């Protein structure tokens, strides 16, 4: 799992084994080591975050702060997505 960055004890990462066709750009967030049961956040073309699910049950206040940080770094996330997967599409 390519780690994008850490926010405290939370990892923001891509799941390396994405489906074909490739899903729109998104990140997974988990506390500690990445897992298949992590929170999933879509990144929109405008660089905003859209919560797909909160499977790792991150407390709401913490999740809002994490999403703000991801939005602030969305260009970096999008570029790393393209560098890793070689293509990009957006949820919206």
Establish if 38 belongs to a structural domain: yes
Note whether residue 91 is domain-resident.
Answer: no
Please give the pLDDT value at position 20. Answer: 74
| Structure confidence at residue 1 (pLDDT) | 65
Query: Quick one: pLDDT at residue 47?
Result: 95
* Residue 90 counted as domain residue: no
How many domains does the chain contain in total?
Answer: 1
Query: Does the residue 75 lie in any domain?
Result: yes
Rounded distance between C-alpha atoms, residue 80 and residue 74, angstroms = 10
Q: Tens-of-pLDDT digits for all 92 residues of the chain? A: 688 999 999 999 998 776 777 889 999 999 988 887 899 999 999 999 999 999 999 999 999 999 999 999 999 999 999 999 999 999 88
In a domain, 22, yes or no: yes
Whole domain around residue 76: which residue ranges? 3-85
Residue 92 belongs to some domain of the structure: no
Q: How much is the pTM?
A: 0.91
Report long-range pairs for 48-55 (Cβ below 8 Å, ≥24 apart).
Answer: 48/74, 49/74, 50/91, 50/92, 52/26
**Residue 78 CB-density burial (10 A; 0-12 exposed, 13-18 middle, 19+ buried):** middle
């Amino acid at each position: 799992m390519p780690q994008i960055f850490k926010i405290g004890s939370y990892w923001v990462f891509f799941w390396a084994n994405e489906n074909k066709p490739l899903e729109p750009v998104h990140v997974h967030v988990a506390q500690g080591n990445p897992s298949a049961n992590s929170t999933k956040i879509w990144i929109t073309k405008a660089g905003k975050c859209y919560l797909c699910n909160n499977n790792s049950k991150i407390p709401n206040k913490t999740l809002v702060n994490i999403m703000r940080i991801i939005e602030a770094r969305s260009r970096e996330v999008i570029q790393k997505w393209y560098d890793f997967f070689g293509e990009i599409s957006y949820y919206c």
